[in-house]
A and B are shown apart, each in its own frame.
Chain A
């Protein structure tokens, strides 16, 4: 019999072997523990073990007020902290019936898209590093640093912003925001072409990703995949298109769909989304109307009794926030439907029958953020 604490165990009577990847493994991008059954080089089964970074955020939220609980969601998917805060603010606004000023809506969408660019930049660097290239990581962080500086100037924080509050945003835009953002976009446009030259066309990178980690459209739907992971298999699931929130209805952008369903398709979707995000920001940045940046709200928020749900498209997929209110100052129950959890559940399906060397590359294209999975 094998014990879970052993590093390598063999299964008696077969050629199969059980090995542990993680929880402290650099390529799992966090404390993810994968128990892999392999036959030689071929992966037979992948079993993710969760719970290493569980902070009971959902339970914690039950003792925090409707203003306070939003900051904890920055710690879930920390790479798209703005978008997580946005989802919670939307749910509370829906519960309270708060009308968000138009200026705040524009600011929120611009911030969301900037976050998406920053998140995809980091993913691009890390997926290239998973395939063995170190240089792209530094190039991606150069661009991400510019976004972080913009965020620092306006929101006062670089990663966990807590900028979206019920009723609008916490501060008005910094006077330099529009200038800096335009400078960044002009700089970034030329850099994406460089990304393509350096990594997308690279024969080694293409051979690593093409044909691996295949998931069909039907399987992607049945596993509940969302975001670029599902769109790489041709599932049209962009919340910004299907259930537009804020001012997404007014902007022109394409939902990126690839039909190949392999790792390279997911890569192409994310790279094309970077270009779409640039175009969304360019449409909005000069149009931000004057006015209030925060609606007048009561000091203590007491939503009526009932259930409220809001959904947004984060950089990884669909994030749902479900609030059950009993009419008090704190929520009765909060449930987050995080995109990373569903995407991770499809990993076993994608990796079965592949070589163990491809496991890390496939996992890289899923863009997993472990605190988002565990919460």
Chain B
């Protein structure tokens, strides 16, 4: 995977940033308008996927190293679980305990208690999971020697 022509690379450099921005918008405004953690996370991942397609895996993995992505993946899920578990102090698992302390207001970004935070955690998890899945599918090569099957990543870690 060495990437595509310079035209594609240039256009991708501009659009990837815009796609990323749109994903971030969907995540942060998920509790006010359409979107949310999952949809936003997918779009965030798309900005990385388009970079893998245009630049190849080697360049992209510098932007988001595999070890970091694997950790972020676990951290995103844990953050969501911790938000839900903290609700047990407010009475119930998943109860919106921030809203009890700090009531939300309509059409304000910083309101709605744990919902925007949960959206961010979900987006993190979805984005890096999808990125990792795509990256593994794009870079892994299977070789077969007789009965022995080997998996080998083309990219440097």
Say whether A and B bind each other: no
